[in-house]
Structure 1
Amino acid sequence: MSIDFLKKYFFGDVQSSSDVSSVAFQQSALRILLALTLCIFLVSEVHFLFTAGDYSFLAINSVYLAALIGLLYLSRRYEKATAILFLFTLVTASILLLTLSNEFHAEKYALISLYSLPLITRLLFTFKASIVAMVANLYPFYLITNNSWMGSAEFLDSANLLTSADALAGASIAPSFYFQMLTFVTLNIGLPLAVSRIIQTLESHAIKMKDLNQKLNSHYAMYEEFFENTGTPSLLCDQRGKVLKANQLCRHLLTGGIKKSLAHSNITDWLTPAGENSRFAWQSDMAECTLKSDSQTHINIRRASLTEHGHLVIHLENTTELKAIQQELESTQETNSRLAHFDVLTRLPNHRHFCQQVNQRLAEHDKHVTGAMFIIRISQFKLLNKQYGKDNANKVILSFAKTLTHKLSDQAVVGRLRGVKFSCFIPLSQTYLIQKNLSELIKSILPKQITVEGNKLNMEYQVGIAYYHTDGKNAEALLERCEMALEYSNSVERFSFYNNNLENKLIEEHTLGLSLSSAIKNKHITIWLQPQVNASGDICSFEALARWQHNGQYIPPPQFISIAENLGLLPLLAENLVRALVETLTDWQKEHIHTPIAFNLAGQELMNDGFFAFLMALVTDKPWLKDRLELEITETSPVMTHPLVHKRLRSLSQYGYSIAIDDFGTGQASLGQLVDIPANILKIDRRFVFPLPHDQRHVDIVKSTIQLAKSLDMKVIAEGIETKEQATLLIAMGCNTLQGYYYGKPSPMTDWTSHSNAKAKTLRMVY
C-alpha cells in the first residue's frame, strides 16, 4: 500500500487518467526534486547533530529543512508558487555556500547548483523561464572566471589550484578556465536545451497520443452504438461458442427481458440447436434453434462474418410468428387451392379450371371424338334477386348447380363462369350432331322448376352452343363461340347455335361501331325532316330523323342507333343533332316560320347529366324555343321506367317543352307511362295504323287510343299513313295530326332550308 501511495504521489494516477499533460509532469518533477533535496538536507541535519561542527551551518540547515518540508506540503495545492519558492531556496542555499563556506568542494557544489538552475527551471516551468535562468548564470560565471571570488592566496592554496604566485598569471590558468567554461556550458546550456528537446518531443507525442486516443474513443463509441442499434439481435462469440459481447436486443431475446448477464456464458446455455449438426450450429451460415427457456420460441441464427481475431458475429432472428404463419398457410393450402380453382358457392370449377379440365379431357381422347360446349344463363335471375333477396337467389343458383350436375353423366364437365352463367362440355354421339336433337338433350337436363322457401319457381334459360372441332379446337375457343351465340339468344329463340355468320356479324358491328364513333365526333350524322300535316293537309310540324351514310349507302337508323346506345354515344349524338336543329329553328324564327320540329330521344340521353343541363340551358337562353322544339320519348326504351327519367321529364315540361310519347302501345306499362310522364302528345305506332281500315280489331284499338288521348287533353299523331283510306278513317276518328308516306317522305333538312328557306315558305307555313 505504501509503495502504491508513493507511486501515486510522485508519478500521479497514470492508469486512471489518459491526460498526460505538462502540468502533471511538472508537478511530478517538483515533488521528486523536493523529496530528494529534503533527503539531502535531512541527512546533513543528522550528520551535523552527531558530529562536532559549525552550529551556524546547523541552524541554516534546519531552516532550509523546515522550508523544504513546508514546500513539500504546499506542493499538493500550490504547484507554481511552491516551484518558485523551491528555486529561490536553491539559489539562496548556493549563495550562502559560496559566501559562508571556505571549503573548496562546498563552493564547487554551489556553482554546480547554480549552473543546474536552468535545467531545474525547465523541468518546473517553461522553456522561456529556463532561458532567463541561463542568462542569469552568466554573472556568476563571469565572477568565477575573473577570480572575483578568490580574495587571497590562502584560498588558492586551500583549493590546490596554484602552487606559486606566478600561477595567477600567464598560460598556467588556461586549463582551469576551459574546464569551468565546459562545466558552465554543459550544465547551464547543454543539458537544459537537451532536456527541453526531449520534453518538447514527449509533449508532441503526448498530444498526438491524445488525439489518437480521442479518435479511438470516438470510433469505439460509434462501433458500440452501431452494434447496439443494428435493429437485429447480435452477439460476438469465439469458435467454441463463448459469448464475448451481446447487444441489448440479443440480451432481451435470450433472457426474455430478465436482466441476466451473458458474459462468460456459451450459446448452448441459451439455445437448443435443431438438426444433426446441433453441437456446432453457430458455426454454420444458417441454423434453426429454439430457446432453452421456451421451446415454443423459434430462432434462426446466421453467421454474418468471421472477424480477424477468429471471433464469430452471429445474428439472431425470432421466427416464431413466421413459423405460425407458415403452419397456418400449410393448413389452409387446400382451401386456397380450392378457392383458386373452384367457385365458392357451388364448388364447381371456375372459368380457368373448367378450361383446364376440358382441355385435359380433349387431349386424353381420340381426335375424332365429338362434343358440344354450351353456356347456360338464367334469364330471370335479376327479378329473383330483387323479389327474394340475395341469399335466396344464391340458393337458386346452388340448387340449379346441384340438379345440373346430377343429371349430367360423369363424362360431362360442368363449371360456373360468373354470376348466373354456367358452362358445360359433353361428349356427343352422331345422333346429337343434329341441332334439334342437341337442343332437346339440353332441355332435358335443365331443371324446369326450383323450390325456394316452399315456392316453386319456373326457370327460364338462354343457351349459347358450339360444337367441338367444327367451331373450336380447345375450351377457350369454344367458350368464346358460345358467348357469341348467347348474345343472339332472346326470349323467343332461347337456344342459339354458333355459326360463322354470327362472328362475321359481330365483327361487322364492331367495325361499324368504330366508324359510327368517328362519324358522331366529326358531325357526319345528318338530319332529315318528315312533314306532319293537319286534317286539311297543311304542314303543321316536322319530325327530325337521323340519317347516316356510310361507304356510299345509308345505314338503317335502328341499327346505328342501337350501336350508338351500346357504345354510350347517344348523348353526344343527340347534342350534335339538337344544336343543328336549334340553328335551323333560329333562322326560321327570324324568317317568321313558326313550325315546330319534334326530336326523338331514346332515354339514355336523359340519364346523362350534361345533355339534360344542355336542354335546360337552351330554353333559358331562347325562351321561344320551347314552342318550336318538341321532345319525343320512345316508349320501348328500357330506361323509360327509371324514376330519374320521369323526374327530368317533369322538369323539362315545367320549363315549357312539349313532350310526346312515341310508339305508344308497343312498350312496357303504356297506361302507367301516361301517369308518370307529363306528356301532351300521343303518337300511335305504325303497326296499329297499317292494318286499317280492313282489320276491325285494330280500328277499335286506334279509336280507343284517340278517345283516351282526348280525355287526357292530349294531341294525337298517327304515323305510318300510306293510303287515302287510312287518312280518311283517322280524320273521321278525330285524329289531329297525320304523318306518313302518303303525305311526304323524309327528305334532307337542307331541302327545306336552302335558298333562304324557300321551300319552307312556299308550303304556306308563314303566318
Structure 2
Amino acid sequence: MLLNFFRQYFLVSSTSSQRSDSDRFRISALRILLTSCLLVFGSFTLHSLVFNLNNADDYLIPLISAAYICVLSLLLYLSSLHIKLTASIFIGLLALTGWSLALFSEESNAVKFGLTTLYSLPLMVRLFFSFKASLICSLANCATFVLELSESHYFSNLDAFMSPTFSAFYFQLLIFVLLNFGLPLAVSRILHTLQMSLRRFRDLTARLNHHTELYEEIFEHTGTPTILCDKKGKVLKLNEKAEALLTKGQHRTIEGTRINDWLSSTSDSSNRYFWQKDAAKCALRTDAKSFLEVHRSALTTHGHYVLHLQDVTHLRALTQELESTQQTNSRLTHFDSLTRLPNHTNFCMQVNHRISHAQDYYTGAMFIIRISQFKLLNKQYGREQANRVILHFSKSLQERLSDTTITGRLRGVKFACFMPVGQTYLIQRNLRALIKSILPEQIKIGTDLLNIDYQIGVSYYTNEGEKAEELLERCEMALEYSTSAERISFFDQQLEAKLVQEHKLGLALAQAVKDKSIDIWLQPQVTGSGEIRSFEALARWKREDGSYISPITFIKLAEELGLLPKLAESLLKKLVAVLEAWHEEHIKTPIAFNLAGQELMNDGFFALLMSLTSDRPWLSDMLELEITETSPVMTHSLIHKRLRTLSQYGFSIAIDDFGTGQASLGQLIDIPANILKIDRRFVSPLPDDRRHYDIVKSTIQLAKSLNMSVIAEGIETREQANLLVGLGCDTLQGYYYGKPCPITEWTDNNNEKAKELRMVY
C-alpha cells in the first residue's frame, strides 16, 4: 500500500491523475525535487541538533534549516495548485541559497555546494519553463563562474597556472559546462523529442480513434448480423444483430467463445470448420428450431474471417411447407380455393377439351350465374357468412347437375356451367326451365332462410368452332341485359350488334361531352291561367347526320359511363350564361335544371355549383334544381346533406318523377324539397282512369299538406289541364302548352322572345 501511495503521490501511475501529460510531468518532477530537498534539509537539521547541542552559537544554522523545511513543505502543498508559481519560488529559493553560500560562506564545501546549486538552476528552469528561460539562466551563471575564478586567483601568476593545482580549475570548468550547459541542452533536446513524439502520438491516437469509431459504426450498421473470428473459430467481435440472433435476447457473453459453441452444421456435421466455407447451413445449438446460413465474406490481412449470418428459419419453414404442399399448390393454380371448383382458366381448358374431342355434331349451352344480392348479404352477415353462402351454393349446384356438366367459379359471385344439350333444350323456354330447376331457391345462414335471386346469361354452342372464351364473352353480354323481370337472358347476334352499337354510341357521347356539342332546350311551365312562370331545361343531342338521340338513351348511357358530372357541368355553364344575360335584362323567369344524383355525388360539380352561387347571389332565385327520384343514389346520405346545403342557399328543389323511384315517401322527409312533380305516367290516363285520378288527387293533397308546390308534366289535352287546375295543381307542363324548343329561340335578337314574358320588369 505504501508503494501505491508513493506512485499516486509522485504521479508515476497512469491512473493517478486526470491532468494533461505536461502538467503531470511538471508536478511529478516538482514533488520529487521538493521531497528530495526536504529529506536533505531534514537530515541536515537533525545532524546539526545532535552534534551542536553544547554550542549555543551554532543554533542559527538549524533554525535556518528548519525555516527551509517549512518553506519547502508549503511549496510541496501548493505544487498541484499553482505549478509555475511554486516552481518559480522554489528556483528562486535555490538561487538565493546558492548565491549566499557561494559569495558569503568561508567554508570551501559550502561554496562548492552553492556553486553546484547555481549551476543546476538552468536544468531545473528547463524542467518547468521554456528553453529560452533556461538559456538565460545559463548565461547568467557565466557571471557567477567568472566571479568565482577571479576570487580563486587561477590566472594571477604564471606559477599558479603551471602548478598541478590548476587541475582544480578544469574540474570546476567541467562541472560548470556539464551542469550549466550540457545537461540543460541535453534535457531540452530530450524534452523536445518527447514533445514531438507526444504530438505525433496524439495525432495518431486521434486518427486511430476516428478510424476505430468509423469501423465500429460500419461493423454495427452493416445491415446483417456479422461476426469476426480467427482461423480456429474463436469469436473476436460481433455486432448487436449477431448477438441478438445467437442469444435470442438472453444476456450471454459470446466474445471469446467459439463458433461451434453456438452453431452446428446441418449439411456437414463432421466438419468442425464448416464456417470457413463460402456458405454453410447451420442450426442454433440453444434453439434447435432456429436455422441460419453462414456466409464467409472475406479473410482479413490478419488471418481473421468475417462471417455474415442470415436467419432462414421462416424461409426454411416456408420451403418445407411449399415442398410438402406442392400438389396442393398445383391444384390451387387451377381451382378456386373456397369452392374447389375449376377457376376461369381451368374451366375454359376443360370446355375446350370437351369441344375438341366431341364426336359428330355436338350442341351445348354455356351460362353464367350471378348471385344478385351478395353485396347485401356480405354487409348484413359479414364476409365469413357470405362465403358460406357461396360454398353452400356451389355444393348444391354440383349435386343438381349431371356428371357431364362442367362447372367453374369465374370470380366473386359468378359461376359458369357448360352442359351438353339435345334438340329439346335448344328451345329457350325448355332450357330456361332446366336452369331454374337446378338453382337452389333458398339458402340457410344460421337460423335464417334466405331467398336467393340470380341473373343468368346464356349462350348456345352449335358446333361452329367457338371456343370457351368466346362463349363466356357472349354470356357476359347476355348477362348485362338480364332484368329483375326477366332474369335469364339469351345471347343472339342482334344483342351483339346492339352492344357494339352502344359501344360506338358511348364513344360518340364522350366526344360530344368533350366538344360541348350537347345543347339545351327549354319547355315552358305555366300557371293555371296559361302564363309562363318558368322553364325546364332539357338536354338534346344532335348527331352530325342531323339525327337526334333520345335523352332517355344518352342520359342513361352517360350515367353508366360516368359522364354525367362532365355533361352536367357543361350544360350548367351554358345555362348560367343565359341566366346572367337575363338577369342583366331583368328577365325574372326561372329555369329548372335536372340532376340525376351522380352529379351531386361528384365533388367537382358540387364545388362548381357553389362557386357560381357565391359569385352570383341572385342565381338561387333563377335556377331551380329538379332531383330525379328514380336514381338509386338519391338515398345516399351525402346527397341529402348537399341538398340541405343548397336549400339553405335559397335554391328551390323539386322532386322529379315522384312515385316512380326509390322510397318516395322517405324522400319527402330526407330531401328539403319545396316542389313536387307528378310524373307523366300518372297524368296520361286522365281524365278517364279513376285509379290514376285518385293517385294524382292524393298526391296533390299530400304536397299541399307539406306546403309544397305541385307541377304536373305530360299534359296534352284541355281536359287534363282543367282537371289538374281543379285539383289544385300550381304549375302545368306538357305539349298542350308548348313543346321543347332550342334555347336560342328565347335568346335570339337580344332575348326578344323572353322579354315578352309577363315577368319582365
**TM-score of the superposed pair, with normalisation by structure 1:** 0.65
Q: Alpha carbons of 1:561 and 1:299: their partners in 2 closer, same or farther (altered >3 Å)?
A: closer
Match of 1:695 in 2: none
Note the C-alpha offset of 1:468.
8.8
1:422 aligns with 2:415: yes
Could you tell me whether the CA contact under 8 Å between 1:685 and 1:718 is conserved in 2?
no
Residue aligned with 1:424, SS: strand
Show CA shifts across 1:497-540 (max 9, x none).
44555444334323323433454565533355678999999999
The change in CA–CA distance for 1:471 and 1:720 in structure 2 (over 3 A counts) is farther
Report the Cα offset of residue 551 of structure 1.
Answer: 1.3
> Aligned match of 1:129 in 131, 134, 141?
134
Do the aligned partners of residues 114 and 546 (structure 1) sit closer, same or farther apart at CA in structure 2, a change above 3 Å counting? closer
| Long gaps (5+) in structure 2 | 52-57, 80-85, 702-709
Aligned position for 2:164: 159
Task: Rate the CA distance shift 1:25–1:658 in 2: closer, same or farther, 3 A.
Answer: closer
Any residues of structure 2 matched to 1:433-582 within 5 Å, and which? 436=428, 439=431, 443=435, 446-447=438-439, 449-450=441-442, 452=444, 457=451, 461-465=455-459, 467=461, 473=467, 475=469, 477-490=470-483, 494-499=487-492, 501-520=494-513, 523-528=516-521, 546-552=539-545, 553-570=547-564
Partners of 1:505 and 1:744 in 2: how far apart?
Answer: 34
Equivalent in 188, 200, 210 of residue 208 of structure 1 = 200
Q: 1:422 to 1:260 in 2, by over 3 A?
A: closer
In structure 2, what is the equivalent of residue 148 of structure 1?
A: 153
User: 1:564 is aligned with what amino acid?
Assistant: A
1:279, CA displacement in angstroms?
1.0
Instruction: Tell me the equivalent position of 2:26.
Output: 23
Matches within 5 A, 1:331-730: 343=336, 345-349=338-342, 353-359=343-349, 362=352, 366=356, 373-378=366-371, 397-410=390-403, 412-426=405-419, 428=420, 436=428, 439=431, 443=435, 446-447=438-439, 449-450=441-442, 452=444, 457=451, 461-465=455-459, 467=461, 473=467, 475=469, 477-490=470-483, 494-499=487-492, 501-520=494-513, 523-528=516-521, 546-552=539-545, 553-570=547-564, 621=618, 667=660, 679=676, 683-684=680-681, 688=685, 702-706=689-693, 709-710=696-697, 719=714
Task: Report sequence identity in percent.
Answer: 40
Cα deviation, residue 182, structure 1: 9.1
Equivalent position amino acid for 2:137 in 1: V
CA contact (8 A) 2:682 2:696 kept: no
Deviation at 1:558, TM superposition (A): 2.6
Q: Distance in 2 between matches of 1:84 and 1:470?
A: 128
Paired residue type of 2:348: V
- Residue 53 of structure 1 is matched in structure 2 by none
Equivalent-residue separation in structure 2 for 1:670 and 1:13 (angstroms): 98
How far the C-alpha of 1:131 sits from its partner, in A, is 3.9
Q: In 1, are the aligned partners of 2:234 and 2:257 still within 8 Å (CA)?
A: yes
Per-residue displacement from partner, 1:158-177 (whole Å, max 9, x unpaired)?
6377xxxxxxxxxxxxx999
Partner in structure 2 of residue 242 of structure 1: 234
The 1:413/1:87 distance shift into structure 2, 3 A limit, reads farther
The 1-side partners of 2:534 and 2:198 are apart by: 115
1:267 is aligned, of 243, 251, 259, to 259
Distance (Å, rounded) in 2 between the aligned partners of 1:93 and 1:565: 123
Aligned amino acid, residue 443 of structure 1: I
**1:308 — aligned with what?**
301
> How far apart are residue 287 of structure 1 and its match?
3.7
Q: 1:600 to 1:502 in 2, by over 3 A?
A: same
Please give the alpha-carbon distance, in whole angstroms, between the structure 2 residues aligned to 1:492 and 1:597.
37
Partner Cα distance (1:674, 1:76) in 2 = 105
- CA positional deviation for 1:355: 1.8
Amino acid at match of 2:557: I
Question: SS of 1:560's equivalent?
Answer: helix
Conserved? CA contact 1:237–1:245, under 8 Å: yes
The alignment partner of 1:132 has SS state of helix
Letter in 2 for 1:465: S
**CA drift at 1:423:** 1.8
- The answer to whether the 8 A contact 1:346-1:398 is kept is yes
SS at match of 2:397: helix
The one-letter code matched in structure 2 to 1:559 is T
TM-score (structure 2 length as normaliser): 0.65
User: Are 1:374 and 1:423, in contact at CA under 8 Å, matched by a contact in 2?
Assistant: yes
Match of 2:476, SS? helix
Cα shift readout 1:309-341 (whole Å, capped 9, x = no counterpart): 222344556666776787788889988887776
CA distance in 1, matches of 2:398, 2:286: 57
Distance 1:191 1:765 in 2: 126
Residues in 2 aligned to 1:110 and 1:590: alpha-carbon distance in whole angstroms: 126
Give the 3-state SS of the residue equivalent to 2:407 in structure 1.
strand
Q: Distance in 2 between matches of 1:380 and 1:214?
A: 77
Q: What amino acid sits opposite 2:552 in the alignment?
A: P
Q: Quick one: distance in 1 between partners of 2:262 and 2:667?
A: 88
Assess if the C-alpha contact under 8 Å between 2:369 and 2:455 holds in 1: yes
Shift of 1:550: 0.6
Matches of 1:570 and 1:409 in 2, distance apart? 47
1:694 maps to what in 2?
none
Equivalent residue for 1:281? 274
In 1, Cα distance between equivalents of 2:550 and 2:427? 32
**Cα distance change on mapping 1:145 and 1:414 into 2, 3 Å:** same
Deviations 1:720-767 (A, max 9, x none): 86xxxxx69879989979998899866545556656788899999999
Tell me how far apart the structure 1 counterparts of residues 147 and 335 of structure 2 sit (CA, whole Å). 120
* Contact 2:443–2:449 under 8 Å retained in 1: yes
Distance 1:7 1:389 in 2: 83
Deviation string, structure 1 residues 380-401 (Cα, Å, up to 9, x no partner): 7678889999888766544432
Determine helix, strand or coil for the equivalent of 2:302.
coil
